Amino acid sequence: MTTPLDYRTAGVDISAGDAAKARLKKLVDSTRTAGTLGAFGSFGGLFRAPSGANQVLVASADGVGTKLKVAIAANKHDTIGHDLVNHCVNDILAQGALPLFFLDYVAFGVLDEAVLEAVVAGVAAGCRENGCALLGGETAQMPGVYTPPDYDLAGFIVGAVDEEQMLGSDRVRQGAVLVALASSGLHTNGYSLARRIVFERLGLDVTDEFPGAGASVADVLLSVHRSYLSALRPVLSKIHALAHITGGGIPGNLNRVMPSDVDVTVDTRSWDLPPLFRVLEDAGQVPHDEMFRAFNMGVGMIVVAPESAADDVISGARAAGIDAWRAGQTSAGSGRVHLDHG
């Protein structure tokens, strides 16, 4: 006799999904802001549009790459969602936008309710830190696409900025100053290379001590991607452009905010390279220029500002607990990024 089939035997447990959503309601409700409308569980999230006539909505979508593999190996899932929110916040901040609301997408082969709750708890923590509402999301069960314990995570953010306050290459001039803001580690990029070095070349496990760090591999590699909103919000009206240092490193992101008639020189001697990156470079025998393409090298955001604003940017960042320093300048050119290693 043929066994009857249902959705659960096919790998999708609707009851488990419903139970998980019920537990997530409290987390989602904890992120409500003044613009949030409607209730948890609606087909679409609702948010009151900004009233300013000249306001522009700024949207971005991203993931956290193979940092997920480290979270899965360490069975630590409560920070990866925080990473995601902060990454997306920084992306729209680079155009001067402040976050309004966030949406998440989590996909499993087989739904793990505890993992889902931990991931969304991290998303909610990031939303609270940055003052944006977690307006909705999607939890997908996709047997045959993801093999447990693997899962996937993506985020979508919408913010707003007055059109005349938008940051970007059109505001950058010759003679501007670069101010670098320190990263909190690898952030969310370069993990495919970092994982190969740490787990294959060095032969370490997530519970082992990371060389010279006094902390485990998991703690070092899962350090939360830093948000720069609180440090930079007070000075946004004084600066010209921001480069969020993600995939492509400093040269691959700073060039995105340079006009065609301006070059920029980054003095890489202006900061001490964090030990994490020295370990990766030495153990992986990674060429120095490749390190600067694959990793942020200790710099999470670069501010392009007039000389008159540089000290305010530095003091504001330090007041927010983030180290900052002058790291270069712009000059006449053709939109190129120069790394000055001395």
- How many separate domains does the chain show? 2
Q: Indicate if the pLDDT at residue 46 is higher than 80.
A: no
pLDDT at 5: 36
User: Is residue 5 included in any domain, yes or no?
Assistant: no
228 and 100 share one domain: no
- What is the rounded average pLDDT for all residues in the chain? 90
Please give the pLDDT value at position 148: 94
Residue 39 lies in a domain: yes
Q: What is the mean pLDDT of residues 52-64?
A: 86
Q: Which of 187, 204, 182 is nearest to 279 (CA)?
A: 204
| Mean pLDDT, range 149-171, rounded to an integer | 92
Is there a single domain that holds both residue 198 and residue 306? yes
Q: Which of 138, 179, 162, 130 is nearest to 17 (CA)?
A: 138
Q: Indicate if the pLDDT at residue 43 is higher than 70.
A: no
Write out the residue range of the structural domain in which residue 116 sits: 14-165
134 with 37, same domain: the answer is yes
The pLDDT assigned to 13 comes to: 67
Q: What is the pLDDT of residue 42?
A: 54
pLDDT of 186 > 90? The answer is: yes
Residue 11: pLDDT band with limits 50, 70, 90: low
What's the confidence (pLDDT) of residue 1?
56
Indicate the pLDDT class of residue 2, thresholds 50, 70 and 90: low
Residue 7 lies in a domain: no
Q: Dump pLDDT digits (tens) for 203-224.
A: 999 999 999 999 999 999 999 9
Q: Is the pLDDT of residue 163 over 90?
A: no
Collapse the DSSP code of 33 into the 3-class scheme (helix H, G, I; strand E, B; otherwise coil) and give the result.
Answer: coil
- Of all residues in the chain, the percent with pLDDT exceeding 90 is 75
The beta strand positions in the chain, using DSSP E, are 36-37, 46-47, 55-63, 98-108, 133-141, 151-162, 177-182, 241-244, 262-267, 299-305, 324-332, 337-340
Are residues 32 and 46 located together in one domain of the fold?
A: yes
Q: Are residues 199 and 137 in the same domain?
A: no
User: Out of 21-35, 42-56, 294-308, which region has the weakest mean confidence (pLDDT)?
Assistant: 42-56
Same domain? 214 vs 150 = no
In the listed set 165, 199, 220, which residue is the last one of a domain according to the structure?
A: 165
Q: Of 165, 199, 233, which residue is a domain's last? A: 165
DSSP secondary structure of 78-144: SSHHHHHHHHHHHHHHTTTPEEEEEEEEEEESS--HHHHHHHHHHHHHHHHHHT-EEEEEEEEE-BT
Check whether residue 210 and residue 120 sit in a common domain: no
DSSP summary character for residue 199: I
Query: What pLDDT score does 9 carry?
Result: 47
Segment 98-121 mean pLDDT: 95
**Residue 6: inside a domain, yes or no?**
no
Mean pLDDT throughout 89-97? 93
158 and 224 fall within a common domain? no
pLDDT of residue 10: 42
pLDDT > 60? residue 18: yes
Backbone phi, psi, residue 81, to 5° = -70, -35
Q: Is residue 271 part of a domain?
A: yes
60 lies in the same domain as 156: yes
Does position 48 have pLDDT exceeding 90, yes or no?
A: no
User: What's the CATH code of the domain at 101?
Assistant: 3.30.1330.10
240, part of any domain? yes
Non-local (6+) Cβ contacts of 143 within 8 A are 10, 11, 12, 109, 110
Answer whether residue 3 is part of any domain.
Answer: no
Report the CATH number that the domain containing residue 314 is assigned in CATH. Answer: 3.90.650.10
> Residues 71, 128: one domain?
yes
Whether residues 302 and 215 share a domain: the answer is: yes
pLDDT tens sequence across 124-153: 999 999 999 999 899 999 999 999 999 999
Inside any domain, residue 323: yes
What DSSP designation does 333 have? S
Percentages of the chain per state (helix, strand, coil), in multiples of 5: 40, 25, 35
Share of the chain above pLDDT 70, in %: 92
Please give the pLDDT value at position 7.
41
- What integer is the mean pLDDT of 234-247? 95
Alpha-carbon radius of gyration of the chain = 21
- Residues 333, 287 share a domain: yes
Check whether 272 has a pLDDT greater than 80: yes
pLDDT band of residue 50 (cuts 50, 70, 90) is confident
**pTM here?**
0.88
Burial code (b: 16+ CB inside 10 Å, e: under 16) for 102-111 equals bbbbbbbbbb
